[in-house]
């Protein structure tokens, strides 16, 4: 009897403890406008949140906090007030990579706490986001930010892992179940993609990143936690394009106490193609200053000499990084309506002095010659040279340069994140656009400064044989899903991976010719490269005419067929023309899809011009076939792609 009474006593105490805990815990819910997504927030000893899709738990009991030098924001939080509101508006990007009009519809929950901070949650129809806001006097030293989400053992993670914070962001994706990702595993850059239950996919990244380091993710015990590089205090030059960090601060950021912090967001996709169509990073980014006019920014294609070694052949001059070769590139660009050429490493006498062109090149003659042919010049620079010569923006404007390609940053600590913004601001002041090469992923700067028209941060085709379709087919779902991507496509020499061999000047791409052509439609960049040399493009004129007709900005994007890591087929509209592109990995000898053309809407006939893998493309990757036909919105297309293959087309009014 005593034992039973004791057990009953323990049960009552436990029940009272649960009631006491619930009494101390405040709970809130925020639903998406269509009520399909939900985030549940619990305030107790910490700030805890769970993300649902159709009432199914996707990420449970996740926590967030910010550790300052003298306090922890989020520990035993004391709620002061809450505010909810709904926003439904149309955004019109200056550089529309997916849509010329973006619907920005969300429900918002602002939780304000007593010690000068808030946490803001947003629920969109395609995702959940949150951020910290502080209203404190003076500077904050942030030692750490806690971002911790709990996954399930069988969740499949797609990660670009790196051994250090100093990274080129050019690693292939790793693919592993959550239970296999341990604390000993290498950390990952953002974005990260999670394949969860019931075919839901969760893309994790950040936006509105400024005066703060980029986030990396570390695994362990079926969870992912944020990691951040510390702020560098002392460093010395390490060659002509890097520095060696000698001393770091204890903090990850020293920043203004009255500010908004970066958004942490989760794009939640029920269909794989939803990832391709999402615009979350843009929607959460800072707006541009209305006082600034960016109407001068002109995205477009660019001919690039570095990948092919400045090596046109069949010409009557000695090819190389010299004046005659660059004039030839300008002629080529003019012939095909390409608005820009890049003069990469070699245009200047040294990589450290941006004011002394290569003595073999009359740069000013080339600038003048280009303008006569409606072709402008973009100059390549190392970030270190830019930093040491910050007045070069004004000089380049005086010279008549259109934009700059800045390379080898390879870092994303607070100092370097601020460097990106300083460059964007100074370049905008002098009406220069910027392509950040050797960079981290887009994180919102491009909305505040639309002259930032592309970023690398990807294992691109300059990596030759490492740039395989098996890896690149993930880009529409992960890397390109957060913004512009400088992949540098356009190889006219194509090979299947088992026979691949390539070296400049005879550079080649892995995958079929139709695959290379389709990348111009599928991959998004405000400055889209043509990486091969003019001779090869002249030789393959019908392919070049198609490639150079593909826009770099779009009014509408539709995912037609998509499976993460296997294939992607998209349709994109510019004015009244539709361009279609498909790419496939190498896991199947052939894929066949039936594509409905109901997106054409009007019941009339259209002209279809398509390029498809030839009958022998599975072996000889340069084999392709051009097809012309009439189609209507009532019809469907059957498209075929061989292994590592592609398909592309344009549909226009007759």
The set of catalytic residues is 407, 462
Q: How many CA atoms lie within 13 A of 137 on its CB side?
A: 0
Cα separation, 72 vs 333, in Å, equals 57
What are the two backbone dihedrals, phi and then psi, of residue 34, each rounded to the nearest 5 degrees?
-90, 0
CB distance 363 to 402 below 8 Å: no
Cα separation, 594 vs 615, in Å, equals 19
Which of 464, 466, 458, 468 lies closest to 585, judged by CA? 468
Coil, helix or strand at residue 273: helix
Cα separation, 437 vs 371, in Å, equals 25
Cα separation, 139 vs 137, in Å, equals 7
Pairing of strands 636-642, 72-73: unpaired
Q: What is the DSSP code string of 394-446?
A: HHHHHHT--EEEEE-----SHHHHHHHHHHHHHHHHTT-EEEE-S-----SHH
CB distance 562 to 477 below 8 Å: yes
Coil, helix or strand at residue 642: strand
Q: How far apart are the first and last CA of the chain?
A: 92
Helix axes 392-399, 363-372, angle to 10 degrees: 50
Pairing of strands 243-248, 253-260: unpaired
Cα separation, 462 vs 531, in Å, equals 9
Coil, helix or strand at residue 280: helix
Residues contacting 450, CB < 8 A, separation 6+ = 93, 94, 95, 288, 294, 297
Q: Say if residue 333 is exposed, middle or buried (CB neighbours under 10 Å; 0-12, 13-18, 19+).
A: buried
Coil, helix or strand at residue 51: strand
Pairing of strands 376-382, 403-407: parallel
Find residue 37's DSSP bridge partners: 53
Query: SS3 for 471-487, per residue?
Result: HHCCCCCCCHHHCCCCC
Residues contacting 372, CB < 8 A, separation 6+ = none
Alpha helices in 215-305 (DSSP H): 272-277, 280-284
Cβ count near 27 (within 10 Å): 11
Coil, helix or strand at residue 251: coil
CB distance 380 to 238 below 8 Å: no
The answer, yes or no, to whether the previous bond of 236 is cis (omega within 30 of 0) is no
Cβ count near 83 (within 10 Å): 11
Cα separation, 442 vs 432, in Å, equals 19
Cα separation, 614 vs 514, in Å, equals 9
Give the largest CA-CA distance in the chain.
Answer: 107
Cβ count near 503 (within 10 Å): 9
Cα separation, 430 vs 357, in Å, equals 20
């Amino acid at each position: 009897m005593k034992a039973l009474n004791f057990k009953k006593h323990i049960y009552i105490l436990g029940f009272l403890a649960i009631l006491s805990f619930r009494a101390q815990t405040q709970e809130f819910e925020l639903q998406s406008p269509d009520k399909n997504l939900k985030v549940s927030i619990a305030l107790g000893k910490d700030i805890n949140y769970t993300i649902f899709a159709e009432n199914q738990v996707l990420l449970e009991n996740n926590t967030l906090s910010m550790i300052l030098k003298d306090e922890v924001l989020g520990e035993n939080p004391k709620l002061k007030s809450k505010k909810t509101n709904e926003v439904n508006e149309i955004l019109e990007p200056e550089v529309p990579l997916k849509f010329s009009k973006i619907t920005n519809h969300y429900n918002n929950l602002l939780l304000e706490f007593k010690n000068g901070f808030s946490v803001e949650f947003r629920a969109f129809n395609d995702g959940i986001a949150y951020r910290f806001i502080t209203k404190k006097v003076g500077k904050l030293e942030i030692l750490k930010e806690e971002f911790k989400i709990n996954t399930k053992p069988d969740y499949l993670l797609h990660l670009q892992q790196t051994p250090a914070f100093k990274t080129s962001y050019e690693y292939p994706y790793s693919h592993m179940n959550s239970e296999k990702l341990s604390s000993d595993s290498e950390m990952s850059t953002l974005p990260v993609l999670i394949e969860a239950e019931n075919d839901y996919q969760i893309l994790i990244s950040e936006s509105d990143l400024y005066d703060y380091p980029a986030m990396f993710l570390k695994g362990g015990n079926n969870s992912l936690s944020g990691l951040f590089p510390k702020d560098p205090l002392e460093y010395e030059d390490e060659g002509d394009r890097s520095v060696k960090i000698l001393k770091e601060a204890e903090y990850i950021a020293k920043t203004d106490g009255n500010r908004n912090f970066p958004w942490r967001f989760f794009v939640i996709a029920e269909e794989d193609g939803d990832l391709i169509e999402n615009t979350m990073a843009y929607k959460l980014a800072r707006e541009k200053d209305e006082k600034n006019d960016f109407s001068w920014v002109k995205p477009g294609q660019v001919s690039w000499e570095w990948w092919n070694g400045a090596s046109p052949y069949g010409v009557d001059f000695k090819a190389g990084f010299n004046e005659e070769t660059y004039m030839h590139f300008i002629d080529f660009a003019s012939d095909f309506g390409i608005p820009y050429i890049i003069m990469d490493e070699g245009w200047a006498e040294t990589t450290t002095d941006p004011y002394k062109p290569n003595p073999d090149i009359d740069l000013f003659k080339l600038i003048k010659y280009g303008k006569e042919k409606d072709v402008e010049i973009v100059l390549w620079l190392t970030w270190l040279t830019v930093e040491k010569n910050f007045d070069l923006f004004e000089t380049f404007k005086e010279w008549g340069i259109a934009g700059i390609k800045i390379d080898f940053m390879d870092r994303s600590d607070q100092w370097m994140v601020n460097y990106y913004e300083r460059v964007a601001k100074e370049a905008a002041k002098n009406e220069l656009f910027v392509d950040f090469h050797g960079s981290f992923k887009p994180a919102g700067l491009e909305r505040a400064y639309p002259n930032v028209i592309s970023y690398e941060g990807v294992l691109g085709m300059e990596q030759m044989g490492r740039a395989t379709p098996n890896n690149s087919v993930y880009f529409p779902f992960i890397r390109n899903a957060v913004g512009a991507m400088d992949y540098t496509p356009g190889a006219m020499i194509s090979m299947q991976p088992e026979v691949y061999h390539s070296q400049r000047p005879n550079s080649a791409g892995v995958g079929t010719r139709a695959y290379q052509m389709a990348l111009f439609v599928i991959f998004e960049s405000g400055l889209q490269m043509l990486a091969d040399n003019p001779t090869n493009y002249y030789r393959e004129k019908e392919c070049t005419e198609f490639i150079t007709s593909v826009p770099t900005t779009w009014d509408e994007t539709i995912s037609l067929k998509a499976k993460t890591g296997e294939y992607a087929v998209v349709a994109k509209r510019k004015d009244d023309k539709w361009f279609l592109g498909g790419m496939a990995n190498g896991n199947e000898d052939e894929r066949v899809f039936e594509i409905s053309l109901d997106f054409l809407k009007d019941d009339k006939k259209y002209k279809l011009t398509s390029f498809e893998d030839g009958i022998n493309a599975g072996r000889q990757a340069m084999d392709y076939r051009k097809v012309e036909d009439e189609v209507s919105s009532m019809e469907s297309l059957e498209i075929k792609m061989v292994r590592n293959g592609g398909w592309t087309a344009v549909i226009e009014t007759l």
